[in-house]
Amino acid sequence: MADLKNKTAVITGAGSGIGRAIAQCLAGAGARVLVLDIDGERAAAVAGEIVAADGSALALAADVSRAADCQAGIETAVRTWGGVDVLVNNAGIIRRADAVSTTEEEWDLVMAVNVRSVFLMCKYAIPVMSAGTGGAIVNTASGWGLKGGPNAISYCASKGAVVNMTRALAIDHGPQGIRVNAVCPGDTDTPMLREEARQLGIDAGQFLAEAADRPLGRMGSPREIAQAVLWLASDASSYVTGTAIPVDGGGIA
């Protein structure tokens, strides 16, 4: 069974969607959860939901593309609960455009949020984990980190980077007792998926129907992605590191 009792988890992009579900899921397994999100009000709402369900949580507004905010997040967890056992790098954005239509500013923003944040959060969390008994890092990548997709060059590039960063981190920090893995969600019923439809100028209903075109015949739910994260974050997956696991209803297949 996945058990995180007496563990401290830091989760980025936890104010909505998959991140919110991960925060709730890990808290339900006993973790003390630091909810990080660029939207402080949403972060506070998620932390409040966890506390109302008799869990332990704290919220912090953070732009995880900035080193100071990442460092502050880790320091807050250490100051509040004495360490960091689990880090979930979930913050992410998407810009649906091809290379010609993508601006330099959009490219830089996607890379900052989706890639730099993973590097920065690991930079500050790993010394804390290695000073203790190790830990588990789970990065939210994407099915499009394993294969290409249309009109999403910056997103595909960023999630491909997350997948290979996961492997590199696992190699470097396995000797310190730190496991590093990634989940690669397929289309999941979140506000971000509806935002994609808006960016592409496609009717949301049509877009969501097309997203269900996979062997299981439906989109995923945030809770289903969160369950995979919980497994990777817990000792139930104690011999698993350096992997990128599709959680996509068979989409990659």
Calpha distance 67→9 (Å, rounded): 19
Q: How far apart are CA 40 and CA 240, in angstroms?
A: 33
Closest listed residue to residue 92, CA positions, set 182, 12, 188 = 12
Query: Does 212 lie in the same domain as 163?
Result: no
| pLDDT number for residue 202 | 86
Same domain, yes or no, for 34 and 86? yes
Q: Is residue 252 domain-resident? A: no
> How many Cα atoms occupy the beta-carbon half-sphere of 193 within 13 Å?
22
CB 54 within 8 A of CB 24: no
Three-state SS at 29:
coil
Closest of 23, 45, 8, 46 to residue 229, by C-alpha: 23
Are residues 56 and 126 both part of a single domain? yes
The CATH number that applies at residue 179 is 3.40.50.720
Cβ atoms of residues 160 and 118 within 8 Å? no
Q: 201 and 78, same structural domain? A: no
Q: Are residues 147 and 118 in the same domain?
A: yes
Instruction: Give the Å distances, CA to CA, from 210 to 128, 188, 217.
Output: 43, 12, 10
Asked if residue 129 and residue 110 are part of one domain, the reply reads yes
Structural domain boundaries, residue 193: 187-219
Low-confidence ranges of the chain (pLDDT < 50): none
Residues 198 and 134 in one domain: no
Residue 62 to residue 135: CA distance in whole angstroms: 22
Place of tokens 């869990």: 55
Q: Are residues 163 and 199 located together in one domain of the fold? A: no
Asked whether residue 166 is domain-assigned, the answer is yes
- Note the residue count of the chain: 253
Q: Is 97 inside a domain boundary?
A: yes
Q: What is the Cα–Cα distance from 245 to 33, expressed in whole angstroms?
A: 23
Tokens 């129907």 -> residue = 209
Query: Does one domain contain both 19 and 90?
Result: yes
Q: Are 234 and 179 in contact (CB under 8 A)?
A: no
Per-residue pLDDT, 74:
98
Total tally of structural domains belonging to the chain: 2
Q: What is the pLDDT of residue 194?
A: 85
Instruction: Report pLDDT for 247.
Output: 97
Q: Residue 190: what pLDDT?
A: 86
Q: How many CA atoms lie within 13 A of 29 on its CB side?
A: 25
Closest by CA to 83, choosing from 124, 29, 140, is 124
Q: Show which residues are catalytic.
A: 155
Domain check: are 196 and 175 in the same one? no
Residue 82 lies in a domain: yes
Tens-place pLDDT, residues 142-198: 999 999 999 999 999 999 999 999 999 999 999 999 999 999 999 998 888 888 888
pLDDT reported for residue 205: 86
Look at residue 1 and tell me if it is in a domain: no
CA 4/CA 87 separation, integer angstroms: 12
43 and 137 in a single domain? The answer is yes
Six-digit token pair at 132?
Answer: 């203790």
- Confirm whether 211 is domain-assigned: yes
With respect to residue 84, please indicate whether it lies within any of the assigned structural domains: yes
Q: Looking at the domain assignment, is residue 20 inside a domain?
A: yes
Are 134 and 63 found together in one domain?
Answer: yes
